[in-house]
Amino acid sequence: MVSFTGEETPASTLDSTTIPSVVVPNIRWLGGRLLDTLQSSEHSVVGSNEIDYEGLPEGVPTSTHMLAGSVAGVMEHCLMYPMDCVKTRMQSLKPEPAARYHNVMEALRKIVRTEGVLRPVRGLNVMVAGAGPAHAMYFACYEKIKLSLNNNNTAPGANSHFTNVVAGCTATLLHDAVMNPADVVKQRMQMYKSPYRGALHCVRTVLKREGPAAFYRSYTTQLTMNMPFQALHFMTYEYLQELLNPRRQYNPTCHFVSGALAGALAASVTMPLDVCKTLLNTQESLVGVHVIQAAAAGGVGVVEADIASSRYISGLGEAFREVYRMGGVPAFFKGVQARVIYQIPSTAICWSVYEFFKYAISERRKQGGA
């Protein structure tokens, strides 16, 4: 599930008649377009003339950030969804013999071979339905809070780590409120031998058997995980941007590499919380999926009695104790390989798409105003 930053003041349009002979062409390939940016070697004649996109032009509506963020989020989850399925399977604390995997590639091949080629993307429609509005709200909230904390200052380097962390964590509250129900449905459909015929069947079943609270049982855990995740993510990304791209130009390679490394670090550190979140969403250690499977097999009377008397895991503390009881310390890092492999391209793709959209929208508005 990320947000993006970095601003620079808009550059003025160059007039070829005002450029002295000391100006040297600097040809760069940016996002598939060849831009001939003319710069003064001393930057003393016409000032800074860098192509700017980081700080969107004044007057850009909130819908611009929402559109860019929504597309970035949907692409991130769609492209990496099979890996997300593998991660959920490998985090299972009580896997059946046929669902025990030693590594990511073995898991993916085994799922496709035994359950069909479409099995790794089961539940993708739920993720798209949740990721679009969740990321749209996330980015819009992030950008607004960030500007507010900076007193609308969009100059390069104006953002402090404190600003990035506060804006990102606040936006996470909205993002997770939308994504949590989608995560619950998605992960229950990803589990081995999931009994649900589809997303709507899963929603109706969970509502009937566990009530509306089931969709937010892991919300506090999700927030507890995503707050440090986003803090590490933003600080690492911004730090790498300062090292690799200090002028904050549109540089796809820098955005991709910075996003990938930031996502890998944040995913590794917050892994134990992700295992607890998966347990809270799937409830596999108690009745959860297995009870519903028994119901599908015909033991309705016994199942209903079990459900009525069962107690679902609720809360981060209880989830931690249950994970430790079922697998000890190693259980908190089950699926860490899959999560890191998922997160590296996932955050890299999301940053790259979002930055490209910001650049493209900024360029179009500049051309329209020319």
Kindly report the CATH number assigned to the domain that includes residue 255: 1.50.40.10
Please give the structure tokens belonging to residue 290.
């297995």
Contact 145, 166 (CB under 8 A): yes
Confirm whether 9 is domain-assigned.
no
pLDDT tens column, 326-341: 889 999 999 898 899 9
Q: What is the mean pLDDT of residues 31-39?
A: 32
Q: Is the backbone of residue 230 left (phi > 0), alpha (psi -120 to 50) or beta? A: alpha
How do strand 33-39 and strand 24-30 relate by DSSP bridges?
antiparallel
Domain of 257 in residue numbering reads as 16-369
Confirm whether 5 is domain-assigned.
no
Instruction: Identify the pLDDT of residue 156.
Output: 52
**Tally of structural domains, the chain:** 1
Instruction: Identify the pLDDT of residue 56.
Output: 52
Where does the pLDDT of residue 265 fall: very low under 50, low under 70, confident under 90, or very high at 90 and above? very high
- Residue that wins the pLDDT comparison between 237 and 9: 237
24 φ, ψ to 5°? Answer: -115, 130
Instruction: Identify the pLDDT of residue 22.
Output: 38
The per-residue pLDDT of the chain, averaged, comes to 76
Residues whose CB is less than 8 angstroms from the CB of residue 297 and which lie 6 or more positions away in sequence, other chains included: none
How far is it, in rounded angstroms, from Cα 321 to Cα 332? 11
Instruction: Identify the pLDDT of residue 154.
Output: 54
- How far is residue 182 CA from its own chain's centroid? 13
Confirm whether 55 is domain-assigned.
yes
Q: Average the pLDDT over each of 61-70, 208-217, 229-238 and give the range with the smallest value.
A: 61-70
Where does the pLDDT of residue 261 fall: very low under 50, low under 70, confident under 90, or very high at 90 and above? very high
Q: Choose among 48, 53, 59, 57: nearest CA to 4.
A: 53
Instruction: Identify the pLDDT of residue 182.
Output: 94
Confirm whether 11 is domain-assigned.
no
Confirm whether 88 is domain-assigned.
yes
- Residue that wins the pLDDT comparison between 72 and 87: 87
Share of the chain above pLDDT 70, in %: 73
Where does the pLDDT of residue 79 fall: very low under 50, low under 70, confident under 90, or very high at 90 and above? confident
Which run of H or of E encompasses 63? helix 62-79
Share of the chain above pLDDT 90, in %: 30
pTM of the entire structure? 0.69
**Residue 64 pLDDT greater than 60, yes or no:** yes
- Residue that wins the pLDDT comparison between 35 and 86: 86
Q: What is the mean pLDDT of residues 123-131?
A: 92
Which run of H or of E encompasses 39? strand 33-39
Confirm whether 1 is domain-assigned.
no
**Residues 106-122, buried b or exposed e (16+ Cβ, 10 A)?**
ebbebbeeeeeeebbeb
- How far is residue 266 CA from its own chain's centroid? 11
Instruction: Identify the pLDDT of residue 228.
Output: 86
- Residue that wins the pLDDT comparison between 120 and 359: 120
Instruction: Identify the pLDDT of residue 326.
Output: 87
Instruction: Identify the pLDDT of residue 367.
Output: 77
Where does the pLDDT of residue 157 fall: very low under 50, low under 70, confident under 90, or very high at 90 and above? low
pLDDT tens column, 89-126: 998 888 888 888 988 899 999 999 999 999 999 999 99
- Residue that wins the pLDDT comparison between 287 and 251: 251
Highest mean pLDDT among 43-52, 306-315, 361-370: 361-370
